A and B are shown apart, each in its own frame.
Chain A
């Protein structure tokens, strides 16, 4: 069964500190992995997208890693800011046979709270 599991479920850190969010998946065949940031009451916004051949990608203070062998990804946030408080969602896209339209499998998200 295609699944995406994220940990921790929630996290509280102090402003300026770093943190790492984890994502494990069992999606096959794998197409790509995305990290989204979702502010409360808003739609998700894409942070990074990685294909099988990419093992790291950065977007400002956000750095995502991908280990396709162990089927794990992480999102590292450097020098956290109050505006980083949000839910972070890991999404894995599966290749879908002859239709070539990949299905997206969503993790349940990690809720990050950055405190001053």
Chain B
């Protein structure tokens, strides 16, 4: 079945550590996105990529980095520069422009310990 897979489901980070969240899709979607979800707030866009080897900052990109070396993969690194990383992170993908077929992964919950 086609879908979008995020791993791990739960992740714990120590202070000063970088961690990488995985996002893989087999939907043949061109565009991929990373969102952050905090309680009582709407999803906020971190980074997005419309094609391989290209990505753009979203509304809250500071302290995060991404890469898009393959169409299927869009990993997100939460760096030590992100001062409040505890949140639920969602990856999504869509068919090209226009956000058709917008599909979300099941999320990764990151906690700082």
Contacts and interface: CB of A to CB of B under 8 A. Distances in A.
Interface in A9-44: 9, 31, 34, 36, 41-44
Contacts of A68: none
Q: Is the interface of B mostly helix, strand, loop or mixed?
A: strand
A26 B97 CA distance: 22
Interface in B81-113: 88, 90, 92, 97-99, 102-107, 109
B2 interface: no
Contacts of B45: 103-104
Contact of B102 (A100, A104, A105, A108): A104
Interface residues of A, number: 24
Interface residues of B, number: 22
A102 B94 CA distance: 11
Contact of B107 (A43, A93, A99, A108): A43
A89 interface: yes
Contact of B99 (A44, A89, A93): A93
Contacts, number: 51
A80 B18 CA distance: 44
Interface in B1-18: 6
A102 B99 contact: yes
Given A36-B104, A101-B99, A104-B102, 19 more contacts: A4-B42, A9-B40, A41-B88, A41-B107, A42-B106, A43-B6, A43-B92, A43-B107, A46-B102, A89-B43, A99-B97, A101-B97, A101-B98, A102-B98, A102-B99, A103-B45, A105-B42, A106-B42, A108-B42
Interface of A: 4, 9, 31, 34, 36, 41-46, 89, 93, 99-109
6 contacts: A41-B88, A43-B90, A43-B107, A101-B50, A104-B43, A106-B42
